[in-house]
Amino acid sequence: MINYTSTRDAEVVVDGATAVLNGFAPDGGLYVPRELPALSYTDMLDLDFAARVNKTLKAFFDFDVSGIAKQVFGGEDDPAPTVKVDDNAFVSELWHGKSHSSKDIALALLPELINRAKAQKNITSTTLIPIATAGDIGKAAALAFDKADGTQLCVFYPQNELNDLQLAELRSLDQSNVTVVGVSSDYDELQAAIKGALTDKRLNAALGENNIVLSSANSVNIGTVVPQIAYYFSAYCDLVNSGEIAAGDKIDFVMPVGNFGGMIAGYYAAKMGLPINKLAIAATNFTALIDFINSGAYDINSMSRRPDAPLLGNLERLIFGISGGNARLTAERMDELKSSGRFSVTEDEIHELRNILAGGIAEMDDALDVIADLFDEYGYLANTHTAAAYAVAIERDFVHPTVVLSIASPYRSAKWVMTALGEKIPSDSVRLMRQMEDVTALDAPEDLIAAYSTKQIHNDVIPPQDILKFLTERYCKN
């Protein structure tokens, strides 16, 4: 039986159902397995992606998870194909789900995981999930939880930090159990406000009187991390099955820095014995993590603005891991980070960190060059995040077979892709996508195009200090 503890308190011991339902531990820490389960890629070689996910879920959770992965990922098309680009160079396309981003793999299973966990605990209350987004996670969460029984989703976004596509998608969502609200703050302030709401005693009490409990659906929920472990195992199996590597050969994975929940999933996969040489992080304007890998010092004061994905939550899981599971030390470091904006780790921990992680920096110009080169030489179309990761893979010279994690469809960064290809950019976003379709012969997702013409029904904007008031008034009748 896999039990979970808190990154900040070793005395906390809960089962998997509780970890999924709570999201955060009561002390503000994150749930981590007390021991990682046994899982072997050799048992997955003959399985499809859904069955590989199923094995992973069963390894981590002792409540009933049967059939969930097949229900979500059991269609005819592979939701995470591994595509060969060149010798030793591969791309794992994680964006073939409903929102055309890797967030689908992380989130698509969570509604049913929550329902199964509630059934295990005989819980009949409604689950309310407030979520902060400045990227693709809001749309992916909304699609995942669409009409999910017993669940309400409230998506908050920073008013001025979404691109036009993300804004159109969120404001046009028409789902009975999904509310979307703009917030007049930056992403960091919004994320802090949502975390504060999740642990606010008065809000929790008021919701409790209305038979509602709070939970989380972003990358800190262990229910979103575990499915991502599966795509590392699946990519490795794909390479073995295609004859690109022999069983047991070590490979590299390279991922954009914004995929930090995916990074911790890869860290767990490596610790569980998947033959990973290095997990390489590709940074663009956000280099604090690269500095951390190089020096052992993490300094939030040196951060460039990076408004596209939460980071600090899963950084805490990494700190806990490299410390040997020292919850007291992890709690001290998180407190130090909160008070001074920085912390550092020991030489032994730096060694443990570098044993698995590596890093590189790719500027936007580097990414644009890679987009053009990949398309011209191989006919392969990459979005900006994928191209930045591929640029770092090039720097690493593909010494080991290398899988670049592609976290979004090229159409999610159509303007930059077309700029890289030397095309004139029309002012109209729909025309841009149609033009890109003509130039590249890659079909444009019709739902992305439709978002621009769908009625915008969510226009509320509130200050961050009103989030608690909004949640209380929106969901509490008493």
Tell me what pLDDT residue 306 has.
44
Number of separate domains in the chain: 2
132 vs 281: CA distance, rounded Å: 23
Residues 6 or more apart whose Cβ sits within 8 Å of residue 24: 30, 31, 195, 198, 199, 216, 220
CB atoms under 10 Å from CB of 396, counted, come to: 16
* Same domain flag for 294 and 372: yes
331 within domain boundaries: yes
Residue whose structure tokens are 């990949």: 374
Q: What is the CATH number of the domain that holds 391?
A: 3.40.50.1100
302 vs 281: CA distance, rounded Å: 18
452 within domain boundaries: no
* Same domain flag for 298 and 182: no
Tell me what pLDDT residue 467 has.
95
152 within domain boundaries: yes
189 vs 180: CA distance, rounded Å: 17
DSSP annotation of 298: E
Does the pTM surpass 0.85? The reply is yes
38 vs 60: CA distance, rounded Å: 9
Range(s) of the domain holding residue 171: 126-210+457-475
CB-neighbour burial class of residue 147 (10 A; exposed 0-12, middle 13-18, buried 19+): exposed
* Same domain flag for 190 and 312: no
Strands 178-183 and 151-158 come out as parallel
Two tokens, residue 336: 């130090």
Angle (deg, nearest 10), helices 384-395 and 364-378: 90
3-state secondary structure of 145: coil
Task: Out of 352, 368, 395, pick the residue that ends a domain.
Answer: 395
Tell me what pLDDT residue 118 has.
95
117 within domain boundaries: no
CB atoms under 10 Å from CB of 108, counted, come to: 26
Task: Out of 395, 417, 441, pick the residue that ends a domain.
Answer: 395
Give the ranges where 323-428 is alpha helix by DSSP (H).
327-340, 347-356, 364-378, 384-395, 414-420
62 vs 196: CA distance, rounded Å: 30
Torsion of CA 165, 408, 197, 144, to 10 degrees: 90
348 within domain boundaries: yes
Report how far apart the first and last C-alpha atoms of the chain are (Å, whole number).
40
* Same domain flag for 157 and 39: no
For the sheet containing 178-183, what is the strand order? Answer: 212-214, 126-132, 151-158, 178-183, 461-462
Question: Could you tell me if 2 and 23 are in contact, meaning their C-beta atoms sit under 8 angstroms apart?
Answer: no
pLDDT tens over the chain, length 478 residues = 799 999 999 999 999 999 999 988 988 899 999 999 999 999 999 999 999 999 999 999 999 999 999 999 987 789 999 999 999 999 999 999 999 999 999 999 999 999 999 999 999 999 999 998 887 888 999 999 998 889 999 999 998 888 889 999 999 999 999 999 999 998 878 888 888 888 889 999 999 999 999 988 877 899 999 999 999 999 999 999 999 999 999 999 999 987 788 999 999 999 999 999 999 999 887 677 888 998 999 987 765 544 333 345 789 999 999 999 999 999 999 999 888 888 999 999 999 999 999 989 998 999 999 999 999 999 999 999 999 999 999 999 999 999 999 999 999 999 999 999 999 999 899 999 999 999 999 999 999 999 999 998 998 999 999 999 999 999 997 6
Output the CA–CA distances (angstroms, integers) from residue 222 to 32, 154, 397, in the order listed.
7, 20, 34
* Same domain flag for 322 and 188: no
* Same domain flag for 231 and 343: yes
* Same domain flag for 181 and 272: no
Output the CA–CA distances (angstroms, integers) from residue 61 to 26, 314, 317, in the order listed.
20, 19, 18
Output the CA–CA distances (angstroms, integers) from residue 125 to 21, 154, 221, 358, 375, in the order listed.
12, 17, 19, 44, 51
306 vs 289: CA distance, rounded Å: 12
108 vs 262: CA distance, rounded Å: 15
43 within domain boundaries: yes
Rg (CA), the chain: 21
50 within domain boundaries: yes
* Same domain flag for 143 and 260: no
* Same domain flag for 194 and 229: no
Output the CA–CA distances (angstroms, integers) from residue 460 to 141, 143, 166, 470, in the order listed.
19, 20, 16, 11
Tell me what pLDDT residue 24 has.
87
268 within domain boundaries: yes
Question: Could you tell me if 71 and 82 are in contact, meaning their C-beta atoms sit under 8 angstroms apart?
Answer: no
Residue whose structure tokens are 């110009």: 365
Task: Out of 395, 416, 435, pick the residue that ends a domain.
Answer: 395
Question: Could you tell me if 388 and 382 are in contact, meaning their C-beta atoms sit under 8 angstroms apart?
Answer: no
